C-alpha cells in the first residue's frame, strides 16, 4: 500500500477498499485506523487501549476531545473486561437487544483510557450486529473504539463509497461490508437509581426500551456537556443548508425550484425536478426510511444546490430518531 506526504507533511494514504480481515487486523494491531461496517453506520475504528490510535481518530475526524467514543466488543463476556458494577437492567437490555444497535453507559474499569470517555466515569459500549466486524473483533486482542467514519459534524456513512468520499487518503483501509442495514446510529442509554436514561434516540425506539422497563427517561441533552456520543446539537449535517419541515409545499415557495433538493417520506413534490428528489420509503415504512436517510442526504448534498428541504417523519417509533437526526442536521454552525 502506498503511503505518502503532501507539501505540508500531512500523512496521506492510497486508501484501499476490501474485505481482507487479516489486513485489517494487521493495521489495527499497528495502531492504525480502519473504517469498519456495522448494522448502523460505518465506524472509524482503532485500538481502544492505544492512545496513539485514539488520537489518530480524533485528528482524522477533527472531533473535539470532549466528545466521548463508543467501545465495540464481540460479545457480552467482553464487557466485564472494561466495565464494572453493571446493573441488572443493563444486562436485561443487552440480552434483548445485543448484538445490535444498543449502546450502554457503564462505570469504566482502569483499563479504559480517559481519552475514550472524555474524562467521564462511564464508558459507552456496544456489540455491533455485523458478521464481518464480529469476526474482526474476535481476531483482535483488544476492543475497538469506532465513531462514525466521517469528518466531525457531517453526514454519517452507510456505504464504503460514503467513507471514501469523505476520508479517502486519510485512512489506509475501508473494510467493505456492503450497505448498513439499519442506517442510523445506535440508541444510547445510561442508568440512574434503577431508571433507564436515554441519551440518544436511535434504531431501538423508546417504545422498545419500555417493553423491558417502564422506568425510562429521555434526557434533554441540548445544553449539556456531552455525556455520550451524539449529544451535540449540530451533527449529521450536509454541507448544503437543510430545512426540516412538516409543510414542504409551503417552504419550497421561497426558492427557485431548480435550486431545491427534496427528501420526502412517501411522496415527491410535483414542482421540483424529479432528479433533485428522493423518497425514503414509498410504502411508508419507517425502518426503510431510516435505512435510506443518510444515503439520501449524501446524494442530495452532492448536487450542490441552494437548499435541501427534508420532510418530517411521523413522530413515532424510529420516526422520532429520524427526526432527531434531521433536526441536528438542520442546526448549522455559526460562522
The pLDDT tens digits of the residues spanning 131-173 come to 999 999 999 999 999 999 999 999 999 999 999 999 999 999 9
Residues 23 and 93 in one domain: yes
**Longest Cα separation, the chain:** 59
Classified as helix, coil or strand, 277 is strand
Give burial (CB, 10 Å; 0-12/13-18/19+) of 208.
middle
Number of domains the chain is built from: 2
Residues 125 and 76 in one domain: yes
Q: Which helix or strand (DSSP H or E) is residue 15 part of?
A: none
Number of C-beta neighbours around residue 275 at 10 A = 8
Round to whole Å and give the CA distance between 180 and 41. Answer: 6
Neighbouring residues of 257: CB distance < 8 A, sequence distance ≥ 6: 271, 272, 273
Residues 212 and 253 in one domain: no
Instruction: Give the pLDDT confidence score for residue 1 in this predicted structure.
Output: 59
Residues 19 and 149 in one domain: yes
Residues 48 and 93 in one domain: yes
Nearest to 59 by CA among 44, 47, 79: 44
Residue 18 lies in a domain: yes
Please answer whether residues 181 and 39 qualify as being in contact, where contact means their C-beta atoms are separated by less than 8 angstroms. Answer: yes
Round to whole Å and give the CA distance between 85 and 112. Answer: 15
Round to whole Å and give the CA distance between 187 and 72. Answer: 14
Residues 138 and 78 in one domain: yes
Residue 208 lies in a domain: yes
Residues 129 and 38 in one domain: yes
Round to whole Å and give the CA distance between 242 and 306. Answer: 9
Round to whole Å and give the CA distance between 268 and 149. Answer: 30
Residue 223 lies in a domain: no
- Give the ranges where 214-310 is alpha helix by DSSP (H): 248-251, 286-301
Round to whole Å and give the CA distance between 116 and 196. Answer: 22
Partners of 11 in the beta sheet? 5
Nearest to 325 by CA among 274, 299, 291: 291
Residue 334 lies in a domain: no
Residue finishing a domain among 158, 187, 218: 218
Cα–chain center distance at 248: 27
Q: What is the CATH number of the domain that holds 317?
A: 3.40.50.11030
Residues 298 and 175 in one domain: no
Cα–chain center distance at 308: 21
Residue 74 lies in a domain: yes
Q: What is the CATH number of the domain that holds 202?
A: 3.90.870.10
Instruction: Give the pLDDT confidence score for residue 223 in this predicted structure.
Output: 53
Neighbouring residues of 217: CB distance < 8 A, sequence distance ≥ 6: 195, 196, 197, 198
Residues 171 and 271 in one domain: no
- All three cell numbers of 268, joined, read 415527491
Query: In degrees to the nearest 10, what's the CA dihedral of 262, 264, 269, 271?
Result: -10
Instruction: Give the pLDDT confidence score for residue 224 in this predicted structure.
Output: 56
Instruction: Give the pLDDT confidence score for residue 131 in this predicted structure.
Output: 98
Distance set, CA 30 to CA 24, 25, 166, 247 (Å)? 10, 8, 23, 51
Residues 111 and 30 in one domain: yes
Residue finishing a domain among 218, 250, 283: 218
Distance set, CA 196 to CA 19, 125, 208, 230, 260 (Å)? 37, 15, 12, 17, 41
Residue 232 lies in a domain: no
Round to whole Å and give the CA distance between 106 and 90. Answer: 9
Residue 103 lies in a domain: yes
Neighbouring residues of 261: CB distance < 8 A, sequence distance ≥ 6: 240, 272, 276, 277, 300, 303, 305, 307, 308, 309
Pick out the chain residues at pLDDT < 70. 1-10, 221-234, 332-335
Neighbouring residues of 211: CB distance < 8 A, sequence distance ≥ 6: none
Residues 257 and 189 in one domain: no
Residue 195 lies in a domain: yes
Structural domain including 270 reads 241-329
Residues 173 and 313 in one domain: no
Residue finishing a domain among 218, 253, 280: 218
Round to whole Å and give the CA distance between 231 and 35. Answer: 22
3-state secondary structure 168-211: ECCECEEECCCCCCCCCCCEEEEEECCEEEEEECCCCCHHHHHC
Classified as helix, coil or strand, 21 is helix
Amino acid at each position: 500500500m502506498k503511503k505518502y506526504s503532501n507539501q505540508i507533511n500531512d500523512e496521506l494514504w492510497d486508501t484501499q477498499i476490501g474485505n481482507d480481515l487479516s489486513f485489517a487486523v494487521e493495521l489495527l494491531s499497528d495502531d492504525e485506523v480502519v473504517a469498519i461496517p456495522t448494522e448502523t453506520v460505518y465506524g472509524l475504528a482503532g485500538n481502544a487501549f492505544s492512545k496513539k490510535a485514539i488520537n489518530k481518530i480524533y485528528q482524522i475526524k477533527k472531533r473535539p476531545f470532549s466528545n466521548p467514543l463508543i467501545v465495540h466488543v464481540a460479545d457480552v463476556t467482553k464487557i466485564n473486561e472494561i466495565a464494572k458494577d453493571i446493573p441488572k437492567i443493563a444486562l436485561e437490555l443487552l440480552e434483548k437487544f445485543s448484538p445490535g444497535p444498543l449502546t450502554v453507559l457503564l462505570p469504566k474499569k482502569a483499563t479504559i483510557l480517559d481519552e475514550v470517555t472524555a474524562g467521564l466515569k462511564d464508558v459507552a459500549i456496544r456489540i455491533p450486529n455485523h458478521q464481518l466486524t464480529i469476526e474482526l473483533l474476535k481476531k483482535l486482542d483488544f476492543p475497538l473504539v469506532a465513531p462514525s467514519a466521517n469528518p466531525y459534524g457531517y453526514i454519517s456513512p452507510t456505504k464504503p463509497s460514503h467513507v471514501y468520499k469523505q476520508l479517502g487518503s486519510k485512512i489506509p483501509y475501508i473494510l467493505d461490508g456492503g450497505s448498513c442495514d439499519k442506517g442510523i446510529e445506535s440508541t444510547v442509554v445510561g442508568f440512574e437509581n434503577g431508571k433507564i436514561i436515554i441519551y440518544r434516540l436511535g434504531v431501538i425506539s423508546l417504545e422498545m426500551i419500555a417493553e423491558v422497563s417502564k422506568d425510562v427517561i429521555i434526557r434533554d441533552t441540548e445544553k449539556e456537556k456531552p455525556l455520550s456520543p451524539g449529544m451535540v446539537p449540530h451533527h449529521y449535517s450536509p454541507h448544503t443548508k437543510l430545512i426540516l419541515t412538516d409543510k414542504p409545499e409551503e417552504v419550497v415557495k421561497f426558492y427557485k425550484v431548480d435550486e431545491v433538493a427534496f427528501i420526502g417520506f412517501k411522496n415527491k413534490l410535483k414542482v421540483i425536478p424529479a432528479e433533485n428528489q428522493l423518497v425514503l420509503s414509498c410504502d411508508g415504512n419507517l425502518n426503510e426510511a431510516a435505512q435510506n436517510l443518510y444515503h439520501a442526504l449524501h446524494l442530495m448534498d452532492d448536487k450542490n444546490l441552494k437548499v435541501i428541504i427534508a420532510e418530517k417523519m411521523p413522530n413515532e417509533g424510529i420516526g422520532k430518531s429520524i427526526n432527531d437526526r434531521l433536526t441536528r442536521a438542520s442546526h448549522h454552525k455559526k460562522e
